[in-house]
């Protein structure tokens, strides 16, 4: 039997990235939920700060799935693609696990999507700042 190798975000990477995101959230004065999915969109890790709103759980999951599914961040990247197409703009928002709000990003290694992170809890621009802190840490890891 032959086995194939595929790259996937590690649990250790998720822990370290979550810590970076939580430190940024503390700095911004917000309480967040963080969802990590692997390259297939399957839950890898989840973290929720004390007092983060209940809605942040599903929103962070949808942001991660949106990012891993298409290999681009949620938010402005998507808005630019769909803003001038009313059918696409309204239709894609009906997808079960799609969310337009910013705060989701693919995690990329060697030009391949190996997973994604989704963060929810503040204004979506604050969520994006937390994601950027996590991705920056990941990109600096040896």
pLDDT at 93: 86
Q: Kindly write down the DSSP assignment for every residue of 27-71, as one continuous string.
A: HHT---EEEEEETTS-EEEEEE-TT--THHHHHHHHHHHHHHHHS
Residues, the chain: 142
Ranges under pLDDT 50 in the chain = none
pLDDT at 1: 76
| Interatomic CA distance for residues 120 and 60, integer angstroms | 5
- SS3 at position 106: strand
pTM assigned to the model: 0.94
Domain 11-140 CATH assignment equals 3.30.10.20: no
pLDDT at 23: 98
pLDDT at 142: 87
Encoded tokens for 130: 């937390």
């Amino acid at each position: 039997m032959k086995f194939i190798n595929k790259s996937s975000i590690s649990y250790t990477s998720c822990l370290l990235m979550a810590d970076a995101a939580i430190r940024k959230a503390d700095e911004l004065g917000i309480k967040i939920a963080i969802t990590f999915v692997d390259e297939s969109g399957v839950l890898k890790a989840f973290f929720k700060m004390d007092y983060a709103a209940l809605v942040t759980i599903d929103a962070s999951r949808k942001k991660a799935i949106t990012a891993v599914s298409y290999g681009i961040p949620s938010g402005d990247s998507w808005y630019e693609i769909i803003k001038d197409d009313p059918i696409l703009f309204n239709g894609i928002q009906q997808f079960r696990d799609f969310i337009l709000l910013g705060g989701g990003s693919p995690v990329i290694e060697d030009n391949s999507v190996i997973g994604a992170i989704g963060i929810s809890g503040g204004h979506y621009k604050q969520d994006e700042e937390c994601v950027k802190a996590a991705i920056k840490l990941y990109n600096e890891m040896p």
